[in-house]
Structure formats: C-alpha cells, structure tokens
Amino acid sequence: MVTYECLNCRARFDEEEPEKCPRCSSGRIRRAAVQEPPKEPVAFADKKTHVRSSMVYGDTKDAWKSFHNQEIKACLECGGTEFDMNWKKKERVCRKCGSVSRLARRSA
C-alpha cells in the first residue's frame, strides 16, 4: 500500500487513490517519500586526536608552573630573537620562520 501526505496539514494516510485529505478535506495531496533507516554511527577511532604543545611535559601542576614561569628569549625553531606579538591570542610569531608560540602567563 502507498502512503500519501497532505500538503496542507501534513497528515499521512494510507489509501488507494485519495481525492481529499481525511483530516482537513484538502485536495492538495502528494505521495509521501520513503524514509530510509538511520545509518550506523561513525567509530570513534576515525577522529583525530588532540596534540599538545611540545613544550609542556606532563599533566602535573609542577609541569604547568615550569612552562609558564620560564623566560624564553629566542625562537625554539630557528633561534631568531625578533617577534610579532599578538596580545589578543596571547601568542608571539617569529619574524624569521613564522613559528607560533604561546606567551607565558604572569605569575601571581
């Protein structure tokens, strides 16, 4: 049996050649689309993993403090000493190689 849908009230019904909607008596009727079953979810192994900064070693509070308290004067990639500061993102960009590094937080 074929399912039909009313374009006026969106009611669905099964009939053999309907002329009017049984709910609202509208003549605006169309054949309803067939719904496919939902697809299976994607496995979590396909997602990319988050890579942490290479400067922070460990997940301890001491590792966090040691990173934010160190004073770095030169670029870690090329050794350049000229930087463009991006205060809004709290980053600095090396003018020589373009390497981006985070600014250290102020110690309280």
The domain that holds 76 is classified in CATH as: 2.20.25
The answer to whether 80 and 74 are in contact (CB under 8 A) is: yes
Residue 71 domain flag: yes
Report the pLDDT value the prediction gives residue 60, as an integer from 0 to 100. Answer: 79
Answering whether pTM is above 0.85, one says: no
**Same-domain check for residues 69 and 108:** yes
Residue 9 domain flag: yes
Model confidence at 54, pLDDT cuts 50, 70, 90, reads low
| Higher per-residue pLDDT: 55 or 88 | 88
What is the rounded average pLDDT for all residues in the chain?
77
Has residue 71 got a pLDDT over 60?
yes
What is the C-alpha separation between 72 and 56, in angstroms, rounded?
14
Say how many domains are in the chain: 2
Segment among 48-52, 94-98, 99-103 with least mean pLDDT: 48-52
Count of helix runs (H) and strand runs (E) in the chain: 1, 6
* Of 88, 79, 53, nearest in space to 96 by CA: 79
Structural domain boundaries, residue 1? 1-34
Residue 95 domain flag: yes
Torsion angles phi and psi, residue 45, rounded to 5: -70, -20
Has residue 55 got a pLDDT over 80?
no
The answer to whether 55 and 64 are in contact (CB under 8 A) is: no
